[in-house]
Amino acid sequence: MHNNLMYNCIMYSSELIKGTLKTIVLKLLSQTNQMYGYEITQKVKELTGDRIQITEGALYPTLHALEKEGVVTTEIVNIGKRVRKYYTLTPKGKLKATEKVNEFAEFIDTMKFMLDIKPQIS
Amino acid sequence: MYTLSEQQIDFILNDIKSRGVVMEDLQLNLLDHICCIVENELNLDDDFDQFYQDIIPRFFKKELKEIEEETILLLTFKNYYTMKKIMLISGIFSVTTFLIGSFLKFMHLPGASILLFLGIMTLSLLFLPLMFALKIKDVNTTREKVVAGIGTLSGMLVSISILFKVMHWPFANMLGGCALFVFVFIFIPLYFFSGVRNPETKLNTIVSSILFVGASGLLFTLINTRPAQQQTEVKMYAYLESEELLKRLQNMTYKVAITNTKQQLIVSKINDAAEQMKSLIMVRTTGKSKVSHDFENEDIFLEERNLGPAFEKGQEGALLYAQFKNSIEEFNLLNSKSNELKIPTDHFKEGEIVLYNNFVVLDYITKTQMYVATIENSVTAIK
């Protein structure tokens, strides 16, 4: 029990997050109409109770790559002196989001089996 | 909520730029992101400058540029796989076409040239450059990059010059010479001296360098021009001698009075077509319609090569050839009583004329004219 508590409190390592960043971003975008970079980091923080904190250094490269792949489109909105880039999923992106989430779910099952993680009795 | 002044926004943007972020898209994204953080996390009475210096390290490990580098890496990563795929496909394609092309060439079947052309072109203009582009991603030093670049360049030159040679295109020897020069005097020394210093690659470098030198030596022997030139000169003299013989035969014949006007008409049709075809071939290869015995001094060189597009179906040369062939058949029909008085036509059995090289066709045309002159001669002699 003590171990479990500790596990809940720490932030996940960046290696773990790196492989799932695309999935996280795609899933978030599929749930909302459009989001901008800062909003995405805050939303992830809020949803995971601070356990997953996306670094800006990883988020923006990923967003640019997704844009290039044609998975997201962008819309630029002027906010006073600066501009804000909103990201929206394309139809192709919606498919990709589902695909990525399913892939990850299967991955979890496989990892559970491989690492021999017993279901926890609450 | 803290409100940023215009000066502060300019300050942040300039700071992002001065930290080495060049992509405008990324600059604007980061600017908005930092502004959001300031607006949400900074209290009204806090110090902006201090806060800014505190939050900016969140964005990187060593410097802000990392974000841009990571972005570029991710953007090119996708290309990397496509390039790799294209490289493999083009490699397989060029090897296959090359093998089939060589086989067809060996068997003297049609389609060999186009396949060899496609194979070598794909190899030198698609496969090799792609291999180079992928290779320089793996090597770190400028020296290795230069070696890879020059290696690729000389590889492209060598294969293109071989293509020119096989196709009998002009400047093949010059191209081959340049390719070998780059390969032997620039690439091999660079390769050798950059590899031999490292104890790990020393042996490998020495062995490969010896192989390279050996291969280029063989290639040099192959494209060496002297014997080919001599042979061509011998062939040119042989052709000019046939022409001379033909002239003498014709002179003998046409001194005798014309007896059979119908036959005479056919004969002049044959000779007309023959002379036109010969000048067509000459113009294509030498730029002149006639070559004299003094060709060496006039610097005219009748290189052995194909007949070219003028002899393809429906073109001038092919039409002349058809006229030539028909007139010969007409001639033979007229003289069908005696085999002695016929022009041999075994050549007609073999495929289209465009498949033959210029010397073969010139020889055939001249010989046919000689037959005509001889037959004319014997006919008039009998009478």
Task: Give the A window 31-60 contacts with B, CB below 8 Å.
Answer: 36-38, 55-58, 60
Average pLDDT over residues B213-219: 88
Would you report the helix, strand and coil content of chain B in percent, each value rounded to 5? 80, 0, 20
User: Contact B97/B119 with Cβ under 8 angstroms?
Assistant: yes
Q: Which residue of B has its CA nearest to A58?
A: B67
B75–A64 C-beta distance less than 8 A: yes
What are the CB-based long-range contacts (under 8 Å, 24+) for B242-248? Answer: B242/B363, B242/B366, B242/B367, B242/B370, B243/B366, B245/B370, B246/B366, B246/B369, B246/B370, B246/B373
* Shortest Cα–Cα distance, A2 to chain B (Å): 31
Residue B254 has pLDDT above 80, yes or no: no
What whole-number distance in Å separates Cα of residue B98 and Cα of residue B338? 50
**Does residue B257 register a pLDDT over 60?**
no
Residue B292: per-residue pLDDT: 75
Task: Give mean pLDDT, residues A45-70.
Answer: 88
Please tell me the distance from the alpha carbon of residue A5 to that of residue A9, in angstroms, as a whole number. Answer: 7
Q: Is B233 helix (H, G, I), strand (E, B) or coil?
A: helix
Crossing angle between the packed helical segments B142-167 and B188-196, to the nearest 10 degrees = 150
Residue A86 near chain B (CB below 8 Å) = no
pLDDT 10s digits, B235-252: 888 888 999 999 888 888
Residue B81 has what pLDDT?
Answer: 78
Complex confidence, ipTM: 0.84
pLDDT of residue B380: 65
A69 touches chain B (CB under 8 A): yes
Write down the residue that tokens 């906010």 correspond to: A79
Residue A79 forms beta bridges with which residues?
A: A82
Residue B304 clears pLDDT 80, i.e. is over it: no
Q: What is the pLDDT of residue B237?
A: 86
Closest by CA position to B362, among listed B309, B300, B302: B302
* Distance in Å, alpha carbon of B3 to nearest chain A alpha carbon: 11
Q: How far apart are CA B374 and CA B351, in angstroms?
A: 27
pLDDT band at residue B93 using 50, 70 and 90 as cut-offs: very high
Residues 6+ apart with CB under 8 A from B94: B118, B119, B120, B122, B123, B126, B127
Q: What's the pLDDT band for A4 if we cut at 50, 70, 90?
A: very low
pLDDT at residue B233, as a whole number? 81
Report the pLDDT value the prediction gives residue B212, as an integer from 0 to 100: 92
pTM of the entire predicted model: 0.48
The CA-CA-CA angle for residues B111, B157, B102, to 5°, reads: 25
Residues of A in contact with B73 (CB under 8 A): 61
- Measure the CA–CA gap between B128 and B162, rounded to whole angstroms: 15
Q: Identify all chain B residues contacting A62, using CB atoms and an 8 Å cutoff.
A: 74
Residue B381 CA to its chain's centroid (Å): 56
Phi, psi angle pair for B30, to nearest 5°: -65, -40
Q: Is the pLDDT of residue A1 over 60?
A: no
Rounded Cα gap, residues A102 and A96, in angstroms: 10
Q: Is A81 on the interface with B (CB under 8 A)?
A: yes
Query: Which residues on A lie below 8 Å from B36 (Cβ)?
Result: 38
Residue from A38, A10, A109, A69 nearest B81 by CA:
A69
For residue B324, pLDDT beyond 60: yes
Residue ranges covered by each domain of chain B: 6-59, 77-223, 227-382
Q: Check pLDDT > 50 for residue A7.
A: no
**Paired tokens of B271:** 């000779």
Mean pLDDT of A47-56: 87
DSSP letters for chain A:
-HHHHHHHHSPPPHHHHHTTHHHHHHHHHHHSS-B-HHHHHHHHHHHTTTS----HHHHHHHHHHHHHHTSEEEEEEEETTEEEEEEEE-HHHHHHHHHHHHHHHHHHHHHHHHHTPPPPP-
pLDDT per residue as tens digits for the range A93-118: 999 999 999 999 999 999 988 888 87
Q: Is B371 helix (H, G, I), strand (E, B) or coil?
A: helix
d(CA B303, CA B284): 10
Across A83-87, B264-268, B290-294, the highest mean pLDDT is recorded for: A83-87
Banded pLDDT at B121 (limits 50, 70, 90): very high
B56 CA to chain A: closest CA distance, Å? 10
pLDDT band at A9 (very low <50, low <70, confident <90, very high): very low
Query: Going by CATH, does the domain composed of A2-115 fall within 1.10.287.810?
Result: no
Nearest to B33 among A56, A62, A81 (CB): A56
Closest to B361 in 3D by CA, of B277, B267, B244: B277
Distance CA B49, CA B26 (A): 22
Per-residue model confidence (pLDDT) at position B210:
94
With beta carbons under 8 A apart, name residues in chain B contacting A64.
25-26, 71, 74-75
Indicate if the pLDDT at residue B299 is higher than 70. Answer: no
Q: CB–CB of A66/A72 below 8 Å? A: yes
Q: Give the total residue count for chain A.
A: 122
What is the pLDDT at residue A6? 40
B32 and A68 within 8 Å at the Cβ level: the answer is no
Residue A118 contacts B, CB cutoff 8 Å:
no
Q: Compute φ and ψ for A107, nearest 5 degrees.
A: -60, -40
Express each pLDDT in A12-32 by its tens digit: 777 778 788 999 999 999 998
Q: Are B277 and B364 in contact (CB under 8 A)?
A: no
Helix B48-55 with B24-41: angle, nearest 10 deg: 120
Confidence of residue A2 (pLDDT cuts 50, 70, 90): very low
Q: Are B30 and A59 in contact (CB under 8 A)?
A: no
Q: Which residue of B has its CA nearest to A87?
A: B29
Averaged over B94-103, what is the pLDDT? 92
Inter-CA distances, B1 with A17, A56, A58, B5, Å: 31, 22, 27, 13
Which chain A residues touch B60 with a CB distance below 8 Å?
Answer: 57
pLDDT of residue B206: 92
Rounded CA-CA distance A20/B162 in Å is: 51
* pLDDT, greater one: A25 or B167: A25
Q: Which of B33, B66, B77 sits opposite A37 (nearest CB)?
A: B33
Minimum distance, in Å, between the CA of residue B127 and any CA atom of chain A: 25
Average predicted confidence (pLDDT) for chain A: 85
Average pLDDT, chain B: 84
| Confidence band, pLDDT 50/70/90 cuts, at residue A5 | very low
Flag the least confident range among A4-8, A33-37, A65-69.
Answer: A4-8
The B-side interface with A (CB below 8 A) comprises: 6, 9-10, 13, 25-26, 28-33, 35-37, 58-61, 66-67, 70-71, 73-75, 77-78
Which chain A residues are within 8 Å of B70, Cβ to Cβ?
57-58, 61
